[in-house]
């Protein structure tokens, strides 16, 4: 199955530590999106990346959060100095070739559930 | 900005009952509309989509029609099964590629 792969599935960190979440898009997909889902809420857009470029980071918190999608390897969402409020499920999605008419669906991974102690 | 509003759950039904989940949206331009389903502990799966007014998306017995005049995309299924128990998300995508989601509606189907 060549779906969107996220790891780890579950991640536990203590306050002040760093969290790194990885996402490998579907084969042939060059666009990656990160979303955050707080408990009992819908998903909120964080950032949209192409290879080596951040296209839209309007949903990213201004501090402690960063994302990259290098030429080789998975996309990484990095959270520095985590706090309790960062506890959430983080989902990655990917889509193929450049959007034409907003009708290309995004395919989601199973998410990383981040718990902050 | 863009927004999606869907009915709050949980919605509890008996098997073979009729399901409707209301979804309305606010968007600039002409968005594409989607329904995603999330089973416990999993990611979102695309259920159906519609890209222009009056389009009907359908899959696995579920249907939704893009109604521009009422800015709605209500999800329906004529006869639900226990396996349809999940959280359903309505979403839109306008220019810029990012999805805007509703808050989700939890559906519980009892045998």
Q: How far is CA B106 from CA A39, B3, B8, B53, B81, in A?
A: 13, 19, 8, 27, 14
Q: What value does the mean pLDDT take over residues A5-30? A: 95
Q: What value does the mean pLDDT take over residues B64-89? A: 96
Residue with tokens 């060549």: A2
B100 with A45: Cβ contact below 8 A: yes
Best of A29, A31, A88, A102 to mutate (most B CBs within 10 Å, chain B): A102
Query: Reduced to 3 states, what is the DSSP secondary structure of residue B40?
Result: coil
Please say whether the beta carbons of B29 and B95 come within 8 A: yes
Q: Band of the pLDDT at A28, cuts 50, 70, 90?
A: confident
| The Cα angle at residue B63 between residues B8 and B3, in degrees rounded to 5 | 45
Q: With a cut of 90, say whether residue A96 has pLDDT above it.
A: no
Sign of the alpha-carbon torsion through B103, B40, B73, B18: negative
- Residue B95: its pLDDT value, please? 77
If you compute the radius of gyration of chain B from its CA atoms, what whole number of angstroms results?
A: 13
Characterize the bridge pairing of strands A10-13 and A112-116: parallel
Q: What value does the mean pLDDT take over residues B12-16? A: 96
**Mean of pLDDT over chain A:** 91
- Of A37-41, A91-95, B31-35, where does mean pLDDT reach its minimum? A37-41
Best of B1, B66, B98 to mutate (most A CBs within 10 Å, chain A): B98
């Amino acid at each position: 199955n060549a779906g969107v792969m996220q790891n780890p599935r579950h991640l536990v960190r203590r306050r002040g530590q760093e969290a790194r979440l990885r996402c490998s898009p579907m084969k042939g997909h060059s666009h990656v999106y990160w979303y955050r889902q707080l408990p009992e809420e819908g998903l909120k857009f964080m950032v949209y990346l192409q290879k080596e470029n951040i296209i839209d980071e309007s949903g990213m918190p201004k501090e402690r959060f960063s994302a990259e999608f290098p030429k080789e390897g998975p996309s990484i969402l990095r959270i520095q100095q985590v706090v309790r409020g960062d506890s959430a499920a983080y989902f990655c999605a990917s889509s193929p070739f450049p959007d034409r008419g907003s009708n290309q669906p995004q395919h989601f991974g199973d998410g990383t559930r981040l718990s902050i102690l | 900005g863009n927004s999606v509003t869907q009915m709050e759950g949980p919605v509890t039904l008996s098997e073979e009952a009729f399901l409707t989940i209301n979804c309305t949206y606010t968007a600039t331009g002409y968005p594409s509309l989607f329904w995603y389903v999330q089973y416990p502990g999993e990611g979102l799966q695309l259920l159906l989509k519609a890209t222009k007014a009056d389009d009907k998306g359908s899959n696995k017995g579920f249907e939704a029609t893009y109604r521009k005049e009422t800015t709605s995309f209500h999800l329906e299924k004529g006869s639900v099964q226990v396996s349809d128990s999940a959280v359903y998300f309505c979403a839109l995508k306008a220019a810029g590629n990012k999805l805007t989601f509703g808050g989700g509606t939890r559906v519980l189907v009892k045998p």
